[in-house]
């Protein structure tokens, strides 16, 4: 996998954003490295929408429902980010 367009962020739990090209060639834009209460994780692309009360909400565009596969994905992406010096 290839990490491109790394942009660090300041404040909050998000460490930075990046684009991710998978070995299959699939490109995931606007992924995030997030520091959560239980460690770091990868935030996948989301889309914003406004509910009937006018509140902004977010919905995942990409999901990995299987917990083990999601963890292997997260571990691999974090390794790739560490190789970049993140």
Residue 78 has pLDDT above 90, yes or no: yes
Neighbours of 18 (CB within 10 A): 24
pLDDT, position 33: 97
Residue 8 has pLDDT above 90, yes or no: yes
Q: Rounded distance, CA 81 to CA 22, Å?
A: 14
pLDDT, position 11: 86
- Over the chain, what is the mean pLDDT? 95
Q: Rounded distance, CA 42 to CA 35, Å?
A: 9
What are 30-69's pLDDT values in tens digits?
A: 999 999 999 999 999 999 999 999 999 999 999 999 999 9
Provide the edge-to-edge strand list for the sheet that holds 14-21.
Answer: 2-8, 14-21, 27-36, 39-43
The owner of tokens 């994780």 is 41
- Runs of H (alpha helix) within the chain: 67-83
Residue 24 has pLDDT above 90, yes or no: yes
């Amino acid at each position: 996998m290839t990490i491109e367009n790394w942009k660090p962020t300041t404040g909050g739990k998000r460490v930075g954003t990046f684009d991710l090209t998978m070995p299959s060639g699939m490109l995931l834009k606007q992924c995030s490295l997030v520091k959560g209460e239980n460690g770091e994780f990868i935030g996948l692309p989301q889309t914003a929408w406004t509910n009937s009360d006018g509140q902004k909400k977010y919905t995942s565009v990409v999901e990995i429902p299987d917990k083990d596969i999601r963890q292997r994905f997260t571990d691999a992406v974090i390794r790739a980010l560490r190789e970049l010096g993140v």
